[in-house]
Amino acid sequence: MLELRDIALIDEAQVFSHRFAASAITVVVGRNASGKTRLARVIAGLDAPARGQVLLDDQDITDSAPGQRSVALVNQAFVNYPHWSVRRNLASPLVAAGRSAADIEQTTQAIAAALGLSELLDRMPQSLSGGQQQRLAIGRALAKGADVLVMDEPLVNLDYKLRESLTSELRTLLHESGVTVVYTTSDPRDAFALGDEVLLLADNTRVQAGTPLMVYEQPASAVAVDLMSDPWGNRLPEGSRLRLVRPEHLYLQRGDGQDHEFSARVLSRETNGSETYLHCEVQGQHWVARLDGLIDVPVDTSVALYATAASVFEFEAASVG
């Protein structure tokens, strides 16, 4: 069990505590400068927290050196030994641990098979694709046999299609490994694709945690709405209250009499082929509606946007950071 107890990632940050579910994947979602990398480095022992403790199986490892804690780290800038073959790269943590030759070979073969690298064991890293090199870096981390695997935006530098295929492979591989995984990302879609749990992070502190669906459907704040939305939630200040609607929860047709209606002026339109994004002005606020399919709505016309009552969130405006 990995636990952060009364921790402050930096001096000016708010203190928080969090327990990561054992043998599960916790996806940490935050924007740039939210503290994701700082959190990863604190868990791995590369940085010290400003205050508080890091515990693993109830043992305080806050002051333990990286090599003395059962934590492996994979960065977005993956690092492999360039002059060693794939086989030797995978075997290196096992050799360092003093494992027997037979055990090293068996474990190396098993990890290579799980990562789709079996046919590449005699290749050098520079001859691999970006996705293969990242899988090799992950394999080296798994070979370390650590209780905790921290992955700091490991797929961010890969193209979209490669990210999509690797994400699916990763979830199966990580669950089969039985390791506790902390996976940081700025993309809320990763929370649903990979996560058993999600931890939202902003301003170097915890915003909300729970299962991805619970946090998505029951956000605790406007910040939580934004972090689980892509693009961010649409805002409508109304006196002391603030209403928010996610772009994907807006429609051009009314569903029933309980729906909320918003008068909008279309500013621009864009599409990615399967979806249409309408950029609109609603009561002086810039809104985005993410609609299924190719929608031909003329620019500079007025439309009505609808949202179900359950998809309109309301918070005290004074509590919004």
- State the Cα–Cα distance between residues 321 and 233, nearest whole angstrom: 14
| First-last CA distance in the chain | 32
Q: Specify the pLDDT at position 126.
A: 92
The domain locations on the chain are 2-217, 234-319
pLDDT, tens digit (0-9, with 9 covering 90-100), for 131-150? 888 889 989 999 998 999 99
Please state the pTM of the whole predicted model.
Answer: 0.90
**Domains 2-217 and 234-319 equal at CATH topology level:** no
Amino acid at 83: H
pLDDT, tens digit (0-9, with 9 covering 90-100), for 62-113? 999 998 999 999 988 777 899 999 999 999 999 998 999 999 999 999 899 8
Beta bridge partners of 2: 20, 56
Q: Which is nearest to 168 in space by CA: 189, 139, 152?
A: 189
- Rounded alpha-carbon distances, angstroms, from residue 315 to 19, 240, 281: 27, 9, 21
Q: Specify the pLDDT at position 129.
A: 87
Write out the CATH class of domain 234-319.
Answer: mainly beta
Q: Is the pLDDT of residue 272 over 90?
A: no
Q: Is the dihedral of CA 44, 37, 17, 25 positive or negative?
A: negative
- State the Cα–Cα distance between residues 62 and 198, nearest whole angstrom: 23
CATH number assigned to the domain covering 2-217: 3.40.50.300
Provide CB contacts within 8 A for 33, sequence distance 6+: none
Q: Is the pLDDT of residue 192 over 90?
A: yes
Beta bridge partners of 206: 201
- State the Cα–Cα distance between residues 178 and 31, nearest whole angstrom: 28
Alpha carbon dihedral 302, 303, 309, 314, in 10-degree steps, equals: -30
